[in-house]
């Protein structure tokens, strides 16, 4: 039988072509490392991301311181396998839900369908605002939401699973469906996403022998399989053929920019099919570069290949290349990451892209009757210590991502849409859909708090026993990584005493510290009535710059306490140096001789019990303590965003 023709709801007319406007990178000196990183991506090992950027707000480095369920209902998904094209024995009037590919077109319930999607990550938005942000997506004219699933969010420790609150994936899928939208699910296990460790859980770095990530290493695959044995059954009820919203599932992410282990990718595809079924559309995403697609796609296996590319590239050329890596007739043009903005690293200006330029680039894609996913639709926030980092040509060329993931997206970090980019993109999308999108909801009520006066409560050293996971510390011959002591995020303090050969001008050196270390030496100071401990800040050692300090004469005394406070600024999420343990990773040398006999204190800052506020109140005012304890809930740990502003003051004002 003949396949149905294009439905009337897809308006393919437009008022003429839009010429390609090309912009040169507008990069200041502070953005030179980002520019280098982007060029590397485009030259083969990267995703091919790029934008015309300009910057407006200067940033400085953040201060350190202180079931498997089995369904027998008739699923009419059709994958990109050539032998699964629709045949005459398919009854399109049965009412069964179907989403498949044929004739280089997506089909939804038997009718051609164009994906107009956007990335909106549930883990970067407070659950209270999920529905609000999704409604804004609909108001833009979108019909699908794409999201990653971070392994480290859902399994932060081997024995701990988390699908509650902001990690409630199923709740998010239900909400998307409630609003009449579809879902493209990117399940990893690696996701990149400017997210800590590219979504890998930090405990993978403590496995011995050392894992070979993103390869067919049997031990690594065993752990991936165990995680997916938890995740995949949760997805089954939400597949489109089971009346759910999920139409496609992506495996890995931009793998062709990293490796070429086809057996690894085949293992992932087979694992997903074993649980989700043979009919589900699996897809990969890679930069529209031959090398990336050759290594990252699974040509001939029935896994659909999607592409991403910079806005200044010719989309027709990119989609023509895409067709070479899909079976004949099974390559609907899809830009699975259309860059509405760009990421920002500490020390850079906030990345911004021209709204009209971005809208014109989107128009060129839609004019080709292609599908598209906006990356990002709404960036949100890297809460806590979840932001990742990038590297350049070496592991020392370190580029940590900022907490905000606003991305200069059309829906701002706080939900704002009264901006030129949202309006420009909406105008373009409106030319390709006949039904007017719904109106957006009003912005949630906001409150202006005015100036906040922050006060020092205590020194980090004075409350170390209360905020470290083990008040007595962990003894070790030489410093070891955070991951080796089962720490995910935050700070780690290494403590020892200066050895007998310490003298004025002695050189302290650490060849490998991830990521930044503050060095202190302390001793007893006698006053008129009391004796106290004074901490002298000797200097800072950084992964990307200095690795040596010299002892000043006033503290170059054998036996004085040496403290090294190391900050984890985000594990690498992209590139060849993704294996990125944190802490002191080499010997600490004094004049070339290793310093031995250390105690480490883990300070994850992930939850601080109310008792800490009570302890601090002994040192400061009852009013300050009451402000802390009133926010502590019913005996639970202080909420992270509340505790953080106080603890930052503690750390900064040592």
Residues with catalytic function: 254, 337
Angstrom distance (rounded) from CA 261 to CA 324: 20
Backbone torsion region of residue 245, taken as left when φ is above 0, otherwise alpha when ψ lies between -120 and 50, otherwise beta: alpha
Nearest to 199 by CA among 233, 273, 131, 250: 250
Burial 229-258 (b: 16+ CB within 10 A, else e): eebbebbbbbbbbbebbbbbbbbbbbbbbb
592: its two tokens: 């070339």
Q: Are 161 and 155 in contact (CB under 8 A)?
A: yes
Handedness of CA 319, 322, 324, 326 (dihedral sign): negative
DSSP, collapsed to helix, strand or coil, labels residue 344 as coil
Residue with tokens 């760009």: 342
Q: Are 379 and 407 in contact (CB under 8 A)?
A: yes
Give me the phi and psi of 308, to 5 degrees please: -130, 160
Residue with tokens 């570069």: 289
Give me the phi and psi of 201, to 5 degrees please: -70, 140
Element (H, E) at 524: strand 516-526
Q: Are 120 and 147 in contact (CB under 8 A)?
A: yes
Q: Which ranges constitute the DSSP H helices of 237-375?
A: 262-276, 290-296, 315-323, 355-367
Handedness of CA 336, 341, 342, 345 (dihedral sign): negative
Q: Where are the beta strands (DSSP E) in 197-354?
A: 246-250, 281-287, 304-308, 334-339, 351-352
Q: Are 236 and 229 in contact (CB under 8 A)?
A: no
Nearest to 177 by CA among 98, 234, 127, 237: 237
Residue with tokens 């990267």: 46
Angstrom distance (rounded) from CA 223 to CA 140: 40
**Residue 184 neighbours by CB under 8 Å, 6+ apart:** 115, 117, 144, 145, 146, 147, 246, 247, 248, 249, 250, 283, 336, 373
Nearest to 641 by CA among 386, 411, 398: 386
């Amino acid at each position: 039988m003949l396949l149905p023709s294009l439905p009337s709801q897809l308006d393919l007319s437009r008022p003429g072509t839009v010429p390609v406007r090309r912009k040169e990178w507008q990069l200041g000196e502070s953005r030179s490392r980002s520019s280098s990183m982007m060029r590397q991506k485009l030259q083969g090992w990267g995703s091919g991301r790029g934008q015309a950027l300009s910057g407006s707000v200067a940033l400085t480095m953040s201060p350190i311181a202180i079931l498997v369920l089995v369904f027998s209902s008739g699923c009419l998904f059709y994958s990109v396998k050539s032998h699964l094209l629709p045949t005459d024995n398919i009854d399109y009037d049965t009412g069964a839900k179907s989403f498949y590919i044929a004739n280089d077109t997506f089909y939804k319930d038997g009718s051609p369908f164009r994906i107009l999607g956007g990335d909106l990550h549930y883990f970067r938005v407070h659950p209270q605002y999920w529905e609000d942000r999704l409604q804004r997506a609909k108001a833009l004219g979108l019909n699908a939401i794409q999201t990653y699933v971070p392994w480290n969010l859902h399994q932060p420790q081997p024995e701990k699973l988390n699908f509650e609150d902001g990690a409630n994936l199923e709740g998010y899928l239900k909400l998307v469906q409630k609003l009449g939208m579809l879902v493209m699910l990117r399940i990893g296990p690696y996701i990149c996403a400017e997210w800590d460790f590219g979504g890998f859980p930090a405990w993978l770095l403590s496995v011995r022998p050392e894992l070979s990530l993103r390869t067919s290493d049997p031990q690594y695959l065993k752990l991936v399989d165990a995680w997916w044995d938890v995740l995949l059954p949760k997805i089954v009820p939400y597949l489109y053929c089971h009346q759910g919203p999920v139409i496609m599932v992506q495996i890995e992410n931009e793998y062709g920019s990293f490796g070429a282990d086809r057996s690894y990718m085949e293992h992932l595809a087979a694992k997903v099919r074993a649980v989700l079924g043979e009919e589900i559309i699996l897809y990969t995403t890679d930069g529209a570069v031959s090398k990336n697609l050759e290594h990252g796609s699974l040509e001939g296996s029935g896994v659909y290949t999607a592409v991403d590319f910079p806005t200044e590239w010719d989309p027709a050329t990119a989609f023509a290349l895409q067709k070479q890596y899909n079976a004949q007739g099974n390559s609907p043009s899809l830009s699975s990451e259309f860059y509405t903005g760009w990421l920002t690293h500490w020390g850079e200006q906030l990345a911004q892209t021209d709204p009209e330029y971005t809208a014109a680039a989107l128009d060129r894609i839609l004019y080709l009757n292609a599908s598209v996913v906006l990356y990002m639709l709404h960036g949100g926030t890297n809460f806590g210590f979840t932001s990742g980092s990038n590297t350049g040509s070496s592991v020392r060329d370190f580029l940590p991502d900022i907490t905000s993931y606003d991305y200069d997206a059309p829906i701002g970090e706080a939900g704002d849409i009264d901006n030129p980019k949202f309006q420009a993109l909406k105008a373009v999308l409106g030319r390709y859909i006949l039904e007017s999108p719904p109106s957006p909801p009003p912005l949630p009520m906001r409150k202006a708090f005015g100036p906040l006066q922050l006060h020092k409560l205590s020194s980090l050293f004075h409350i170390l026993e209360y905020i470290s996971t083990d008040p007595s510390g962990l003894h070790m011959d030489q410093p070891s990584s955070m991951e080796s002591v089962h720490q995910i995020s935050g700070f780690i303090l290494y403590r020892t005493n200066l050895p007998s050969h310490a003298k004025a001008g002695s050189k302290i050196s650490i060849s490998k510290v991830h990521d930044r270390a503050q060095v202190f030496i302390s001793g007893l100071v006698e006053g008129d009535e009391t004796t106290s401990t004074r901490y002298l800040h000797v200097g800072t050692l950084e992964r990307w710059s200095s690795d040596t300090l010299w002892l000043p004469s006033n503290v170059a005394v054998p036996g004085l306490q040496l403290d090294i406070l190391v900050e984890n600024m985000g594990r690498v999420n992209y590139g060849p140096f993704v294996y990125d343990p944190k802490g002191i990773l080499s010997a600490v040398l004094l004049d070339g001789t290793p310093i031995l006999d250390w105690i480490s204190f883990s300070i994850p800052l992930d939850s601080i019990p109310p008792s800490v506020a009570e302890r601090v109140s002994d040192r400061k005012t009852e009013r300050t303590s009451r402000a802390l304890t009133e926010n502590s809930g019913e005996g639970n740990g202080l909420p992270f965003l509340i505790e953080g502003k106080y603890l930052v003051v503690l750390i900064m004002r040592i």
